[in-house]
Amino acid sequence: MAEAAILFAVESLGNLLIEKVDFLGDVEEQVRWVKRELQRMQGFLKDANEKQAKNEIVRKWISEIRELAQDAEDVIETFILEIDNPRRRRGLLGRCACFPSHVYHLNKLGNEINLIKAQLEDIKKSRDTYKIEHIQGSFKRSYAAEQRKLSPWQRNKHLVGLDEDVKLLLERAILGEREGLSIASIIGMGGIGKSTLARAVYNHAEVAHRFDRRAWMVVSEQFDLTETIKELVLQLLEPNENKQEVLQTMKNFSEQQLKSILRDRLEGRRYFIVVDDVWRQQDWESLATAFPDEQDTSTRFLVTSRVQNIPRRARYVHEMKTLDPDKSWELLLKVAFDGNTCPRELEDIGREILTKCKGLPLAITVVGGLLLEQRQSRIGWEKVLQELNSHFEISGSSRIQSILELSYHDLPPHLKSCFLCLSFFKEDASIRASKLVYIWIAEGLISQEGEMTMEDISRSYLDELINRNMVRVKDLKKDGRVKSCQIHDLLHELSIRKAKEEINFEILKDRGNNTPQSLGYKPRHCAIYGSTESYNIFSTRGVNKHIRSLFFHGGGRDDVDCCPPYKWKSFRLLRVLDMEGLGLRKLPDTIVELVGLRYLGLRDNALEELPRSISRLKNLQVLDVFANYEIEVPNVIWEMDSLRHIYTFGFNREVPLKMDALKNIQTLKRIRGSKLMHRHLT
């Protein structure tokens, strides 16, 4: 499906026509024509999406329109950066001096728009040949989102049929009187509820009372021992300890030093630790060496895995079973009717839909989210059943994957685009809601509507994804808003697969895990997983002027700076750069060449200063340097008039910062008032 790509392009064209119309001259009407045609294409895509599964030619047509939409977005963004940034830097005389350059770039834009128009005409002709019809549709606010306003999310609201499982685990593995080490495991297929059961045990009142220390860690396929130990240590802090200071202390510790810190915090104490989503026996074994092995102290581990016999030393193995028909129905009622009864006229079709879920809790909750959107309409429920049957017929994937595919297919275009961005994060990551919201805005997915801020609109989109059970709440703020969220690993796999298809997303890990690039392939979003080899792959690739977002995950340190300066300079269209937790001591100088950058994530590094040239990032909306202790911030922030959110953790300045030009600022996190020049604040 190409809705996401077209939505991106239409947003860019719309912004150009609204904000830069004075610069367009004779090209304005051509830009409007392209925007209108792309908007009309969205109606035809609805029909094409229904036909593509059975028709290779239609799939190719969708791919062509997706590529064209992305190229149109590149052309528009490049034009804006070429004419706008020099004007914002040089003042009145500079703007006059820019006039010849403006004429050149306007002429270039006209030529490129004409090429896009010609391609669009060809696509329109082939559309008629393939008999792709226009289906009228309009965006309707999610019914689930409206329901969200009436009732807050409840923890364990989808907990069904686990009472006996919890009881067995407590009696046979967790609360027994036996001293010393005891390991239990929960095994079962993806989506069957292993983590949900483990969480119910973890939160049980008797468990909290019995053990001095509890911790929960996710291992997942991308296991990193040092990062896992750091996370464990942070969960085991004493109430009077400062989390940021401990994190800073551990920043450059070796693996053995980290293990020593962990043992010191656990020795002589009764502790219970959940190790969630273990994929390989060797991962468990390397982690197990970090814990003290004391025979006279009660120590309990609860491990979840899709794989049998992990860990091999488990004294008790609990194999998850699917829900029986009655429990499946109870769960569906909780999701689709908030625990109320089902209208009699819907019960027969509801139970037929349930047979497709085969008792898998994840499948039931996702289908329940689909049914909730139908407002108890029998026609709507029949449509869901028909689509389920259709997906099962044409899909070569498993039943649960087919259901998840349908849940994505059912999302409106704006939520599809937001869902695809979840692929940028690591598997099982705890995602800060504020970070996710800012990234959606930086990617250009959010438009201002009435009096609502873009941040408020973004949060409403997050609410919708949560109510559709595509995203789950991890923590709430005191005011009831989402503080952090997670995505189930099967849904994360879906987001990656769709992002690769629709927005040219690429993941770099190491040479053994990367797919060779085909000729003409243009990655527009990239996640790089922390190893020197993966950074080398990235740095030795050819110049990619199409890249829009770049995420570095784990490790790295100075490896990031191995990227040659000319390559950073080529990333003019880059909007999002996330280098959180890399251990950076110095920001690569050439980052200031990223004139299109809107989000710069530098949280949890070891940076000592920001360069004065950072003021050249005129489009930057979010500057996050939190947990870079006593960082030197130059007194040029006030020149960055697009800034909306600044996160820091104290900074060195004898002279207070001027902030008078920051008309859009909404967040100043951890900046003491004495560090600001108050008379400049507006």
Whether residue 438 is contained in a domain is answered as no
For the domain that residue 282 is a member of, what is the CATH number? 3.40.50.300
Written in H, E and C, the secondary structure of 578-614 is ECCCCCCCCCCHHHHHCCCCCEEECCCCCCCECCHHH
pLDDT for 599: 98
**pLDDT tens string 438-455:** 999 999 888 777 889 999
pLDDT for 391: 76
Residue 148, pLDDT above cutoff 50: no
Which of 251, 286, 319 is at the close of a domain?
Answer: 319
- The pLDDT of 55-67, averaged and rounded, is 76
Whether residue 388 is contained in a domain is answered as yes
Residue 680, pLDDT above cutoff 60: no
Confidence label for 140 from pLDDT (cuts 50, 70 and 90)? very low
Single out the residue of 588, 608, 620 nearest to residue 651, CA to CA: 608
Residue position matching structure tokens 């784990």: 554
Task: Tell me what the pLDDT averaged over the chain comes to.
Answer: 82
Residue 358, pLDDT above cutoff 50: yes
State the residue range of the domain holding 270: 163-319
Cα angle: 579, vertex 583, 589; to 5 degrees: 60
Task: Indicate whether 60 and 74 sit together in one domain.
Answer: yes
Number of domain units in the chain: 4
Task: Indicate whether 92 and 109 sit together in one domain.
Answer: yes
Task: Indicate whether 5 and 106 sit together in one domain.
Answer: yes
Task: Indicate whether 315 and 328 sit together in one domain.
Answer: no
pLDDT for 99: 47
Rg (CA), the chain: 27
Task: Indicate whether 57 and 100 sit together in one domain.
Answer: yes
Single out the residue of 229, 233, 255 nearest to residue 243, CA to CA: 233
**pLDDT tens string 499-541:** 998 888 999 886 445 554 554 678 899 999 876 566 666 766 6
Task: Indicate whether 331 and 384 sit together in one domain.
Answer: yes
- The pLDDT of 594-617, averaged and rounded, is 91
Query: Which range, of 197-206, 397-406, 532-541, 627-636, averages the lowest pLDDT?
Result: 532-541
- The pLDDT of 26-34, averaged and rounded, is 79
Single out the residue of 310, 292, 311 nearest to residue 181, CA to CA: 292
Beta-sheet strand order (sheet of 180-187): 213-218, 271-276, 298-305, 180-187, 316-319
